[in-house]
Amino acid sequence: MLDRLRDAAKADSVAVLAGGTSVAFELAGDGWTAGFTVADGTMAPAGTPHPDFRLSAADAVWEGLTADRPPAGAHSIVHLVRAGTVEVHGSRLEYERHVHLVRALLDAAREHPNRAEPGRSLQARGSYNRVTTSLGTSDIYIERAGTGTPLLAFATAGSDTTQWHGLMTHTDLTDRFELITADLPWHGRSSPAWGGPVGSYRLTPETYTECIVAICDELALDRPVLVGVSMGGAAVVHAVATNPDRFAGAVACQAGPSVQARASEHLRGTQLNPSLFIPEWTYGLMNPASPEEFKQRVWWGYSSGGFGLYAADIASYLSWDLRTVEDLLTPDSPHIAVLSGAFDTSVPPEKSRVLVERIPNSSFKVMPELGHFPHAENPAAFARYLEPALERVLETSSARH
């Protein structure tokens, strides 16, 4: 363990994140301590009498955090610190400021990372469409790829259409379906709402549904299948419940009847750099065995969000409660297929299972090798679950019409 960690400190993936900061920290296990000093863009395996923070845990915990294929729940330093399995000594703020370095060090200690090669070229058709809802007027950026049954897809909180590019380049989904993805106002390449000052963006489950319906109107979509992940997963459930005649059904990923424990003062705070903290807050929700290139793209996407955007989306997601629309969901409602990645510690499969038990016309499937970003962290694996889910939705839709 010690040798692996010391060698990992020299990895390029650690060095590229080490610039611009100076910190000293320790990792401690059963009878050992490893010190690391970061300065001048390098991390050295050298201790100091007064580290800024120290992380301690049993050896089995560190083995899980550095394993090529750890079990779900044993894979994320952020989750294990929050759960108290890894204890923080010294300054917790300094740990939070530099968790990206700790995570990168642990990732580099894995011996056989999964790699991905470039897929087929990205063939998405982009356009701007002016949409007005109670959120205001915004020029919404929309991408379309493929032909066939339309799938209108929405990404996770704070993200944008780029999360869906892997499905376009590393699967053949668009040979059979038209994948339509949209950036919400303020997100990605969509414009801020006209007349709204920077930082004023707010969202609710109701206004999210307004956006979904308005986009369908703008594109003249006839009963598309909705696909959503995380906040988007809850949004498509709300949209189907309140507008059952507008949609053929939905695939909801990483959604439960409600959500807890996703708030943090640092999502909109000024004590540390949100462009480092927010991607680390989300990175640990993925399976470490997912391809490195795709995990890094998820990280980069969360490092690129506008100020307060992710915090506002999380506030909306935390306000989601199935009880507000539960009575609208009946056996005659469009089918909702729920998919759940086992490595998601924010909405674990048991929470998604509860959601399904409360939706009469629904189905459920666990994705053992995926996490909170199944569509983005491992698109090829996700497609193997998505297509049967779409079949269930469309079979039920044909029977209803």
Number of neighbours of residue 207 by Cβ within 10 angstroms: 17
- Chain centroid to CA 301: 10
Q: Where are the beta strands (DSSP E) in 91-198?
A: 125-133, 136-145, 149-154, 177-182
pLDDT tens figures, 221-253: 999 999 999 999 999 999 999 999 999 999 999
Backbone angles phi, psi at 251, to 5 degrees: -115, 115
pLDDT of residue 93: 95
Fold of the domain spanning 125-400: Rossmann fold (3.40.50)
Q: Is the model's pLDDT at 3 over the cut of 70?
A: yes
**CATH architecture, range 2-108:** 2-Layer Sandwich (3.30)
pLDDT tens figures, 260-271: 767 788 778 888
Amino acid letter for position 291: P
Instruction: Specify which residues 38 forms β-bridges with.
Output: 23, 43
The confidence band for 122, taking pLDDT boundaries of 50, 70 and 90, is very high
Query: Would you say 330 and 287 are in contact if contact means Cβ atoms under 8 Å apart?
Result: no
- DSSP character string of 204-253: -HHHHHHHHHHHHHHHT--SPEEEEETHHHHHHHHHHHH-TTT-SEEEEE
pLDDT of residue 46: 84
pLDDT tens figures, 337-358: 999 999 999 999 999 999 999 9
Place of tokens 């894995």: 110
The confidence band for 399, taking pLDDT boundaries of 50, 70 and 90, is low
pLDDT of residue 234: 96
Domain boundaries, the chain: 2-108, 125-400
Query: Would you say 338 and 250 are in contact if contact means Cβ atoms under 8 Å apart?
Result: no
For the chain, what is the mean pLDDT?
93
pLDDT tens figures, 291-324: 999 999 999 999 998 888 998 999 888 889 999 9
The angle subtended at Cα 237 by Cα 233 and Cα 243, nearest 5°, is 135
Cα–Cα distances in Å, from 132 out to 186, 264, 291?
13, 31, 38
Cα–Cα distances in Å, from 144 out to 35, 289, 356?
50, 30, 30
Q: How far apart are CA 112 and CA 344, in angstroms?
A: 22
Q: What is the dihedral of CA 140, 142, 148, 152, to 10 degrees?
A: -60
Q: Is the model's pLDDT at 259 over the cut of 90?
A: no
- Beta pairing, strands 149-154 & 225-229: parallel
pLDDT tens figures, 47-77: 788 999 999 999 999 999 999 899 988 999 9
Instruction: Specify which residues 179 forms β-bridges with.
Output: 145, 151
pLDDT tens figures, 160-196: 999 999 999 999 999 999 999 999 999 999 999 998 8
The confidence band for 398, taking pLDDT boundaries of 50, 70 and 90, is low
Q: Is the model's pLDDT at 361 over the cut of 80?
A: yes
DSSP, res 258: B
pLDDT of residue 297: 96
Place of tokens 């050896």: 59
Q: Six-digit token pair at 257?
A: 């009847």
Query: Would you say 132 and 195 are in contact if contact means Cβ atoms under 8 Å apart?
Result: no
pLDDT of residue 401: 58
Place of tokens 């990280």: 299
**Are 2-108 and 125-400 the same fold in CATH?**
no
Q: How far apart are CA 356 and CA 362, in angstroms?
A: 6
Q: How long a stretch of residues is the chain?
A: 401
Query: Would you say 340 and 347 are in contact if contact means Cβ atoms under 8 Å apart?
Result: yes
Average pLDDT over residues 87-104: 96
Q: Where are the beta strands (DSSP E) in 331-371?
A: 335-341, 362-367
More confident position, 352 or 197: 352
Query: Would you say 152 and 215 are in contact if contact means Cβ atoms under 8 Å apart?
Result: yes
pLDDT of residue 90: 96
pLDDT of residue 200: 86
pLDDT tens figures, 5-29: 988 899 899 999 998 899 999 999 9
pLDDT of residue 270: 83
pLDDT of residue 391: 96
Q: Coil, strand or helix: which one is 128? A: strand
Q: How far apart are CA 224 and CA 152, in angstroms?
A: 6
Report which of 23, 25, 53, 20 is spatially closest to residue 38, judged by C-alpha positions. 23
